Amino acid sequence: MTRRRWLVGGIGAVATIAGAGVAWWRVNSRPEQADIWSLRFPKPGGGEILLSERRGKPLLLNFWATWCPPCVEEMPLLVRFQREHRSAGWQVLGLAVDREKPVQEFVAAKGIDFPVALAGSEGLSLSRSLGNAPGGLPFSIAFGRNGTVLAQKVGAVDAGILMSWARLPT
């Protein structure tokens, strides 16, 4: 009986140490979060978007692509969110993980009236640094006025999610 207790106790101790090690690794291996306000992106058709110009207001940043069906499906919700919550200070910025020409054509055809910038393939790395561990699209992240992350979602947002984000203290 004593031998069995030692064996069970030893296995328990090893499992505890392994669990603590995994937890430590997860906390300490997260990528550095980008300084959101220092970022700049080219606009389709020319020019540049500086996120520093958006500091001081809540920001909904959406990573998307024209070839991503859920991204395309959620666009009307993002347009509506921008229109309905602009007066409360909310800004929406679309970061296209895509090429310039398809983005230009999509924005024109769908009447996207919030700013869209080109993040290209580097956009996936940026989205990962902001908490999108799987690197999936679409990825939306809400920032407060000071740049703190308020909420994030991998996959398409819905009207309920956006409404809850609009009520967050910014």
- Provide block-wise average pLDDT over 10 residues at a time, the chain (170 residues): 66 55 44 75 96 96 98 97 96 97 96 96 94 96 94 97 95
- SS3 string, the chain, reads CHHHHHHHHHHHHHHHHHHHHHHHHHHHCCCCCCCHHHCEEECCCCCEEEHHHHCCCCEEEEEECCCCHHHHHHHHHHHHHHHHHHHHCCEEEEEECCCHHHHHHHHHHHCCCCCEEECCCHHHHHHHHCCCCCCCCCEEEEECCCCCEEEEEECCCCHHHHHHHHCCCC
pTM recorded for the entire structure: 0.80
**Which pLDDT belongs to residue 4?**
73
- Residue 43: what pLDDT? 97
Per domain, the residue ranges of the chain are 1-30, 36-166
Architecture in CATH of 36-166 = 3-Layer(aba) Sandwich (3.40)
